[in-house]
């Protein structure tokens, strides 16, 4: 697939994804008391954002025809 994520979009995804993933892990490690549902959602969203940032491709962008490069 052709890259459809620009540098600013990629940077935001990396930062937000990392924060969400770390927050999710903190919940399951017992460091944070946000609750398991919030922790699970944060971990999942963080993983998706990190994955799309590292791959430089967002499938949702592909479906709706968005290209931020």
Task: Let me know if residue 69 belongs to a domain.
Answer: no
Task: Let me know if residue 2 belongs to a domain.
Answer: no
Q: Are 43 and 20 in contact (CB under 8 A)?
A: yes
pLDDT tens string, the chain, 69 residues long: the values are 799 999 999 999 999 999 999 999 999 999 988 899 999 999 999 999 999 999 999 999 999 999 999
- Does the pTM of the predicted model rise above 0.85? yes
Task: Let me know if residue 29 belongs to a domain.
Answer: yes
Q: Which two tokens stand for residue 45?
A: 């969203």
Domain that holds residue 28: 17-64
**CB neighbour burial string for 1-39, b if at least 16 within 10 angstroms, e if fewer:** eeebbeeebbeebeeebeebbebbebbeeeebeeeeeeb
Task: Let me know if residue 12 belongs to a domain.
Answer: no
> Total domain count for the chain?
1
Task: Let me know if residue 10 belongs to a domain.
Answer: no
């Amino acid at each position: 697939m052709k890259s459809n994520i620009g540098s600013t979009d990629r940077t935001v995804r990396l930062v937000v994804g990392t924060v969400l993933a770390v927050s999710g892990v903190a919940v399951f490690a017992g460091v944070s008391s946000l609750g398991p549902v919030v922790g699970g959602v944060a971990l999942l969203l963080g993983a998706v954002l990190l994955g799309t940032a590292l791959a430089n491709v967002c499938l949702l962008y592909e479906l709706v025809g968005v290209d931020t490069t």
